[in-house]
Chains A and B, each alone.
Chain A
């Protein structure tokens, strides 16, 4: 009965030894329907103590960051620093399809859990390491934080204001990239194992994940011989000389909008034309609006002084409008403009509500459920049924993967 499968990965077994730097991988696999078992040291993993925290009605302080990355994972506690703990783990490895860890090959081997040991326990096993730089190489032992990885992967250098230091995104995005990549890569290797009957090692580098977020900056260096520069709300990108504005202030907040200077094309031309019509109707007409074929013939030879005149005019118009007015117009007229939404606005967004994006999440020590964004994909045959809970340390001790199970 396909309708009752909790997603396409129903029946897949995952052992999750990852700390906060790779925990997102297990969450993605759990959401796709896998049975993910978190293996923690007795008492729970250190990441359960990481900020931010909430204090429950039971007076216990728990980690919100931990909860966010461990939704729907069962938990068992094993002392992997002791032979009996390792033996128990290897017995579980024998029954598992995927094992995810964040130590890398070297440290796993030093713990007596090297790839050869895992492979001996289960030749079909996909063993995935998610580490800052990869399991080997000159930086493999470098210690990192999310901000240092955003820096090494060069995304920070090209983000932020020109007169300030490079800027990081104030969320654990490098770890999330590594985790999402680790989930995808684990499945790629598992798919292969179904054909070959053999597992393998998957080695994810978070630095490389961050490099991918540059999208075209490495090409700009190679083809134009220059580094993209950070420009705050303004950017100088795609190898162009032009500094263009991306983030604009409106009456009650900010919007992301690239009226011209994005390289042109149908969608950009249509977006700009709709905005110009609105400006004209609102008596914000000006010859500069139509002086050039901004997103067509002239798209790649715009002059900065012309752009600046245009931008000043658009700026004045946007400041006269509210976020809701602008976004409503953008949705109806295919304008490439979006509000910079806050977490509160996201939580009450009508579109997300209608799409049934939110799932209830019950947390220990919290009377009423909170909401988390799920599912990230909609399947016709195997719809996802995201879990609405997180496990306390060792909550499923002794209750996983009995040998008699199918």
Chain B
């Protein structure tokens, strides 16, 4: 799947800053070809939305500032383990394919450039703390006056209004506020919480849906609108069942390891090798029968008491112990094949490194190797969906800080080279 990128290089003869118009991978124009995005967002959640737009053909201008650096540029991993604003793989993942410019937004002249960028754009995104864009004279009212057809998306942790709208947090804090920490842990220990800034992985899907819905709506009358989103409120969609369950039955979702309140066996079971585990779930009595066959009908599993979910749940610990004794004699991937042949829901607890050898991800072309700035060549995640007629892929690696400032100002916004020099002297492009 990396071929598409190489073709771009071949066709144009050189890496080009602005995506070539000739790039029609499926014969039809890419979905967002011609869509112009002024991206004032930062951190992870909102940049992931604009990363999707770029993958599917949009021209995304990502605005950064040296005066107030995107914190993700400070987050590792770094190339060769050396911290540098241009070599964070963390930052790179969310910004591949974008044009990177720097504007010191504290500078009024820079805000004039931002206004011209907004005038150019179809979509304006931002994820500053609520009120920051307004203070710069770049809030929704200003944007709408400058460009009535622009769709603007603001996203923050708790939303733009409300008693806690001043709260600052990343996706780890978001997961805690959305109840996910207490769903992730062992009953006899402190909750662990999900790995990563988890709500940063949830909100972008709702953000892309909301933004695309507004673009669909805009086709009717060409008038833009404003979308305001809270990362925590997106994440609450993920726990709707738990919220309803509490109201209807009084149940309080809490840490339960890998167990299920309704099915057994259900968990992670040891395999041969270093920290190797297989996940397995039996969701019906018929699936239990299949597992028994897969195990070769051992005597302990023939107990008629275990033939029903009630019996298996009551004797869950015993079932887990016996099952672990069996799985522990297997290498994980042969066991996966064996269980799948038997029709048992199962999956290896893959390590991140395993993903690069995963034949299904390879078939899907999940990792796309691309060159980008000082980071060089590295594999980026492709989006989780494939479009049959207008496929999208990241087409270029991450930009260095301010790599495309001059290109964007002269080629997209119509500034002359002399004007750009003047802006630089005024400190606007810092």
Contacts and interface: CB of A to CB of B under 8 A. Distances in A.
Interface residues of B, number: 158
A264 B168 CA distance: 15
B71 A266 contact: yes
B24 to A, nearest CB: 12
A361 interface: yes
Interface string A165-208: 11111111100110011111101111110111010111111111
Interface stretch (A75-83, A84-92, A219-227, A286-294): A219-227
Nearest to A254: B191
Nearest to B198: A213
A342 B252 contact: yes
A330 interface: yes
Contact of A32 (B162, B213, B248, B262): B213
Interface string B301-321: 000000000000000000000
Nearest to B70: A265
5 contacts: A216-B90, A223-B76, A255-B176, A346-B239, A351-B163
Contacts of A148: 279-281, 345-347
B194 interface: yes
A404 interface: no
Contacts of B279: 145, 147-148, 150-152, 156, 166, 168
B245 A341 contact: no
B208 interface: yes
B384 A205 contact: yes
Interface in A212-251: 212-224, 227-228, 230, 232-233, 235, 237-240, 246-247, 249
A202 B385 contact: yes
A200 B390 CA distance: 8
Contacts of B78: 223, 239
B100 interface: no
B220 to A, nearest CB: 9
A217 B201 contact: no
Contact of B196 (A151, A215, A331, A381): A215
Interface stretch (A37-45, A106-114, A277-285, A371-379): A371-379
Contacts of B48: 212
Q: Provide the main secondary structure of the chain B interface.
A: mixed
Counting contact residues on chain A (CB < 8 A from B), the size range is: 35 or more
Given A159-B195, A218-B352, A347 B244 contact: no
Contacts of A192: 28, 31, 387, 389-390
Q: Which one of B44, B83, B268 has the highest number of Cβ atoms from chain A below 10 Å of its Cβ? A: B268
Contact of B226 (A140, A165, A196, A380): A380
B354 to A, nearest CB: 7
A216 B75 contact: yes
B2 interface: no
A218 B174 contact: no
A154 to B, nearest CB: 5
B277 A64 contact: no
Contacts of A191: 31, 212, 215-216
Contacts of B52: 184, 188
B387 A202 contact: yes
A337 B170 CA distance: 9
A347 B246 contact: yes
B169 interface: yes
Contacts of A124: none
